[in-house]
Amino acid sequence: MKKLNGTLLICLIMISACAQPSTVKHINETNIPEIALAPLRFLASDELMGRSTTRPEIHIAARYISEQFRSFGLRKLEGLADYYQSFDLKLNNPERIIPSENVMGWVEGTDPKLKNEFIVLSSHYDHLGVAKQPKMEEGKLDSIYNGTRDNAIGTTAVIDAARYFSKYPAKRSILFITFTGEELGLLGSKYFTEHPPMPLKQIVYDLNIDNASYNDTTAITLVGLGRTSADEDIQKACIVYGLSILPDPLGGRLFKGSDNTPLAEKGIPAPTFSLGMKSFDQSILNRYHQLSDEVGNFNLNYGMKFIRAYILSAKNIADNPVQPEWKKGDEFEGLGKSLYQRNQ
């Protein structure tokens, strides 16, 4: 056998340290592409008409997610019906009330002590709906904002994570949430944090997913990289799937633009796991909130790496005996200490 060079040896050591082979095997077998990508194809289909919070098709999406959770045997939170946290969104211009629902279920942890702590895996499942006027996009007349990247792939990853953890629970309990109303101003996640179905201090981390697009299929972007103690757990997971981690390409400005924000503002460590963006350039803008954001032009092989790395990241965090926390000096450090009653 040829002598391993130093870089390769370090990589092999890191891989062996970050996940048991059986864990990776179970993640891969539980979510083969045919199964794992089925939610993506459904949620981003023309039939759902862009999943706008103000259109009736959003309820079809919610029902689909809840049926997935039911099929996995996820537990319902006390006081919630049919995996729904139902509430009314009050909209202006024109003024109206929209019945809405966050969809959530959970899996109990295996550790007698750590199971009282929850890791949240979240995404938003709404998008922009239908354009007022159709227009030509990449050679076809189109009017539906399918939202494959934003954020059907994120909701798909949460569903796939629920499938895995329902079979192979982690040490901590895991709460799976798909939020509505993100595109209208983080309305679903704001409602969740203002009307939590459990004490917020039990939620010790949120690994949210949201996306614009990608221009680097060798990486994921961690919006909030360097802000919580869980970075290493995520990095180890990504290495297994051949992915590196990129920081927010806008220098931190993306952090307060997704459903992680309301949780972070309560003190919960909450970064966003996103598709790889080495820069927020025209290649991102060509898909972000565009009619052309469709499954047909999405790199599904990369999507599978993204999904599996997300699940393994969650597994690493949920099994880590040390509770994740904000890094010293972070703007939310004090809120975290107050929430979890740590010494100031």
Residue found by looking up tokens 């340290």 in the block: 17
Domain range 20-339, its CATH number among 3.30.70.20, 2.40.128.50, 3.40.190.10, 3.40.630.10: 3.40.630.10
Inform me whether the pLDDT recorded for 4 exceeds 90: no
Task: Give the bridge partners for 61, in sequence order.
Answer: none
DSSP state of 19: -
Residue found by looking up tokens 């221009």 in the block: 215
Helices first, then strands: H and E counts in the chain:
12, 10
Lowest mean pLDDT among 16-20, 78-82, 158-162: 16-20
The arithmetic mean of pLDDT across residues 168-174, rounded, is 98
Cα separation of 309 and 306, whole Å?
A: 5
Using pLDDT thresholds of 50, 70 and 90, give the confidence band for residue 309: very high
Inform me whether the pLDDT recorded for 281 exceeds 50: yes
CB contact at 8 A, 104 and 265: no
Residues of the chain with pLDDT > 90: what percent? Answer: 89
Q: What is the pLDDT of the chain when averaged over all its residues? A: 94
pLDDT in tens, 202-228: 999 999 999 999 999 999 999 999 999
β-strand pairing of 173-179 with 118-124? parallel
How high is the pLDDT of residue 20? 79
Greater model confidence, 248 or 2: 248
Cα separation of 153 and 132, whole Å?
A: 25
Tokens linked to 1: 């056998």
The arithmetic mean of pLDDT across residues 178-187, rounded, is 98
Q: 3-class DSSP state for residue 34?
A: helix
Cα separation of 85 and 177, whole Å?
A: 10
How high is the pLDDT of residue 342? 76
Q: Counting Cβ atoms within 10 Å, is residue 129 exposed (0-12), middle (13-18) or buried (19+)? A: buried
How high is the pLDDT of residue 113? 97
Residues of the chain with pLDDT > 70: what percent? Answer: 94
Task: Give the bridge partners for 87, in sequence order.
Answer: 100
How high is the pLDDT of residue 138? 84
Q: 3-class DSSP state for residue 135?
A: strand
How high is the pLDDT of residue 19? 62
How high is the pLDDT of residue 16? 43
How high is the pLDDT of residue 213? 98
Sign of the Cα torsion 48, 133, 150, 182 reads negative
Q: Provide the residue type at 296 as one letter.
A: G
pLDDT in tens, 42-101: 999 999 999 999 999 999 999 999 999 999 999 999 989 899 999 999 888 888 999 999
pLDDT in tens, 122-147: 999 999 999 999 999 888 899 999 99
Q: Counting Cβ atoms within 10 Å, is residue 117 exposed (0-12), middle (13-18) or buried (19+)? A: buried
Residue found by looking up tokens 């100031």 in the block: 344
CB contact at 8 A, 128 and 145: yes
Tokens linked to 61: 């999406």
174 torsion bin: left (phi>0), alpha (psi -120 to 50), beta (else)? beta
β-strand pairing of 203-209 with 118-124? parallel
Within its chain, how far is the Cα of 139 from the centroid?
32
How high is the pLDDT of residue 137? 87
CB contact at 8 A, 76 and 89: no
Inform me whether the pLDDT recorded for 243 exceeds 90: yes
Q: 325: number of CA atoms within 13 Å, CB side?
A: 17
Using pLDDT thresholds of 50, 70 and 90, give the confidence band for residue 344: low
Within its chain, how far is the Cα of 135 from the centroid?
31
Using pLDDT thresholds of 50, 70 and 90, give the confidence band for residue 343: low
The model carries a pTM of 0.94
Could you tell me where the beta strands, DSSP code E, fall in 38-110?
84-91, 96-107
